[in-house]
Structure 1
Amino acid sequence: TYDEARIEELLVRSPERIEPRCPHFGGCGGCALQHLSPEKQIAAKQDVLAENFERIGKVQPAHWMAPLVDAPWGYRRKGRLSVKWVEKKGKALVGFREDNPRFVADLSICHTLLPEVGLRIEALSTLVGALDARREIPQIEIAAGDDVVALVFRHLAPLTVEDRERLIAFGQAMNLAILVQPKGPESVIPLWPENVNLHFRIGNADVDLAFRPLDFIQVNAGMNQRMVATTLDLLDLKSTDRVLDLFCGLGNFTLPIARRAAEVVGVEGDAGLVERASGNALRNGIGNAEFHAADLFTNHATTPWSTRHYDKLLLDPPRSGAAPLLDYLPRKGTNRIVYVSCHPGSLARDAGTLVARHGFRLVSAGVMDMFPQTAHVESIALFER
């Protein structure tokens, strides 16, 4: 139900068009909006959200929140760089995929990544090209905490002693933690230093979250701080509130909520993240948060955690949204919902369900620029019964 076109000739430049900062813009698929200023980007994203609400959900917020924005460059603390050794070029390509995902963009720099990595793309290419296993390195995972930036090298064949030494030397020279991954996610081990302790602090909630390099965390640290603060404000937490946090991950929202509420229950499909969330509650001295592992896309209408009374509900689903949950949640006692979304279409659809079937009204909504320079539209919405 839509058409795609490509520009053949640019006749008149829009006055809103700016020169992209990155020399690889247009070839690398990591960014799509560098030809717009950050202010115009976020305005365009709000237009997308408004259009989705109207067209898909048949709803509009009573109030539009001011967009949440942070630094437009050097923000990406989590990411996956593809790697490909190209014999004809005699070099290793290190970068994001091109628009055609079969190809790896030949990058020299990336301005959206943290500078500790984004300014060292060529150095990474040289490093991989010098490895005996250069043909067996398909990706490099980036994971940064507050005081450690870690690189995880996936390798499809055992590394030689010399390759391990080269990786360690690179980490020491660049002050980057180096880990290797020979198989699945659980096979990740550090090369240097011996112990890699990744964590980040949510300052306005007095919470410190530990995580593993391949765990999901919010990509943009500055925006995460703003998003958590906004979510807490919208929940309007009281000391007597009981809150259900669905798709809770490591406890990014759950533990800050626990600081203000009587009780919070977090539910997440990834059992490893649930284990880390429980550990984070313990290390922060939080005793009023509990966590459960459950596939939230199956029916939990009779599961004990779902049948309890909750005053408030927080939803932070993946791109597919929370539609299966809305068949049995929220229950009658829940009068306030905050929905954090990474896809405007699924948010709009679920907003229509909450309004039409569950008796809520869409009080406010707004966009959050979690991924500046990209077309990703992250948003947040408040519903009241």
Structure 2
Amino acid sequence: MSKRKPKPLPPEIEVEIEGLTHEGRGLTHFDGKATFVDYALPGERVRMRYTRLQRSFDEGVAVAVLRASPDRVAPRCPHFGICGGCNLQHLDPAAQIRVKQETLADVFTRIGHVSPAAWLPPLVAGHWGYRRKARLGVRHVVKKGRTLVGFRERGTPYLADLRRCEVLHPLVGERLVVLAEAIDTLSIRDQVPQIEVAMGDGPCVLVFRVMAPPSAADLEVLQGLADEHGFHCYLQEGGVETIRALPGHEVELHYDLPKYGLRMVFAPTEFTQVNLELNRLMLDQALDLLDPQPDERVLDLFCGLGNFSLPLARRAGEVVGVEAEAGLIARATANAQRNGIANARFETANLYADLTDQPWMRGQYHKVLLDPPRTGALEVLDWLPRLGVQQICYVSCHPSTLARDADRLVNALGYRLVSAGVMDMFPHTAHVESMALFERVPG
């Protein structure tokens, strides 16, 4: 049976852009049908080329801007529009953060049926070279006769042909070609699918995922790469347990929190925030909102390696951090010991499962810090009133699940949304990080 031929795409048309979606795409309507237009901004008139037809909506891309928005700027990266790593470089950074705040306000109203009593000023740090954690694809492309290193093309499974990346830390972002040329000389160049970049305030680690053992000559190439450019090279032949440094390359990754007298150590594949400058601002705001006191107990749920727990412990009487991953709990405990913190302890628990028998659930807590993954924290919310929690600082990486959880906290569990605001953790992308403070309503 022959396949049905795809319906031919309509010719290019001129459209007025009415708004911006939460994914950063222009929104228009044509013949009563919603159409999402890449690289178009609200208020613009553009010539659009259709890229996909759906039953309930269509998709397209702006091929010419006929009337530009005052917020439109020239993208800094020559690969913008091809690489899928960024999708908002054509929008002024001040407008980007404004759009993110509008996104948060929209989901609070539409999904959460709540509104904060006050909006927090947006947290903004540097816009370029901020990214210190990344997973880069690697592929030798026969038709190009060379290896590519970087991110995928927008909307395709293929790697973009990148010469540089403006959002990666310059030590890596300016050396993508250097990395590609080094891999091109390896005997196992077709067996290196990925490089993981890990960097704090000090050295930069590159973890090369290898599907076959490198030869002695391959190791010499990686050694030369490290010597010339200041990298520390690791190999990963299987799971994370197989990661090992090349001889003489082992290094302790860390980031500092000078305001709290802390040095946070982490392994290359352990989760840390990609934007260290913004992370410091985020910690300051969280502690200002919660204002932990020496006689208070604070619970840090989804605590990771202690990014919030240890600063909180500098001011609170006691902090209990809880996280599902045992390795991160071990790391948080070690970071507490390294920094001389005796009033923080850490427990391993699946926070999406029944918590009834957890020993840390037997006490009472004054305040809670929530920093869940994209799926949110709905499963733990009903426990918080039972634990006596009066204040909740919720750090979110997905505004829709924050809004859903805000609905539960405010409209079912007796809390009020005191304040909320966005944080520009990922400039030039539509990704929205935010923070909200909830307080228990008396009585």
Q: TM class, shorter-chain normalised?
A: over 0.9
1:19–1:192: structure 2 CA closer, same or farther, 3 Å change rule? Answer: farther
Pair 1:284-2:359 in alignment: no
Q: Show the 5 A alignment for 1:88-167.
A: 88-167=143-222
Query: Aligned to 1:270, which of 308, 322, 325?
Result: 325
Out of 369, 378, 382, the position equivalent to 1:314 is: 369
| Alignment-mate amino acid for residue 5 of structure 1 | E
Counterpart in 1 of 2:422? 367
Partner of 1:6: 60
1:83-106 CA-partner distances (Å, limit 9, x unpaired): 111112111111112223511111
In structure 2, C-alpha distance between the alignment counterparts of 1:328 and 1:223, rounded to whole Å: 30
Cα deviations across residues 42-63 of structure 1 (Å, max 9, x unaligned)? 0000000000000000000000
What TM-score comes out, normalization by structure 2 length?
0.85
Task: For residue 284 of structure 2, give the secondary structure of its aligned residue in structure 1.
Answer: helix
Identify the residue that residue 12 of structure 2 maps to in structure 1: none
The aligned residue for residue 256 of structure 1 is: 311
| Residue pairs, 1:124-273, within 5 angstroms | 124-191=179-246, 193-273=248-328
- Equivalent residue pairs, number: 385
- CA contact 2:188–2:212 (8 Å) conserved in 1: yes
8 Å contact 1:21–1:34 — kept in the other structure? yes
Pairwise CA distance, 1:124: 0.7
Query: Aligned partners of 1:160 and 1:55: how far apart in 2?
Result: 57
- Looking at structure 2, the residues matched to 80 and 176 of structure 1 have their Cα atoms a distance apart, in angstroms, of 16
SS at match of 1:6: strand
In structure 2, the partner of 1:46 is 101
Q: Unaligned regions of 5+ residues in structure 1, if any?
A: none
The answer on whether the counterparts of 1:313 and 1:330 sit within 8 Å (CA) in structure 2 is no
Provide the residue aligned with 2:115 in structure 1.
60
2:397 corresponds to: 342
Larger-Rg structure: 2
Give the secondary-structure state (helix, strand or coil) at the position aligned to 2:255. strand
Query: Is the Cα–Cα contact under 8 Å of residues 179 and 192 in structure 1 kept in the other structure?
Result: no
How far 1:4 sits from its partner (Å)? 4.9
**TM-score w.r.t. structure 1 length?**
0.98
Measured on the aligned residues, the alpha-carbon RMSD in Å equals 1.3
CA shift digits 1:60-116 (9 cap, x unpaired): 000000000000000001010011111121111111122235111111000000000
Structure 2 stretches of 5 or more lacking a match?
1-33, 35-55
Pairing partner for 1:79 from 130, 134, 142: 134
Is the alpha carbon distance of 1:367 and 1:4 closer, same or farther for their aligned partners in structure 2, counting shifts above 3 Å?
farther
- What secondary structure is seen at the aligned counterpart in 1 of 2:428? coil
Residue 352 of structure 2 corresponds to which residue in structure 1?
A: 297
2:167–2:173: 8 Å Cα contact kept in structure 1? yes
**What is the CA–CA distance in structure 1 between the aligned matches of 2:233 and 2:267, rounded to whole Å?**
13
Residue 182 of structure 2 aligns to a residue in which SS? helix
Partner Cα distance (1:306, 1:335) in 2: 16
Distance in 2 (alpha carbons) for counterparts of 1:101 and 1:299: 40
Cα distance, 1:192 vs. partner?
A: 5.3
Over residues 184-229 of structure 1, what are the superposed CA-to-partner deviations in whole Å (9 max), with x where a residue is unaligned?
1111111153421101111111111110000000000000010011
Q: Which amino acid aligns with 1:147?
A: G
In 2: Cα distance, 1:109 partner to 1:353 partner: 45
Q: 1:349 to 1:309 in 2, by over 3 A?
A: same
CA distance in 2, matches of 1:63, 1:5: 37
89, 112, 119: which one aligns with 1:34: 89
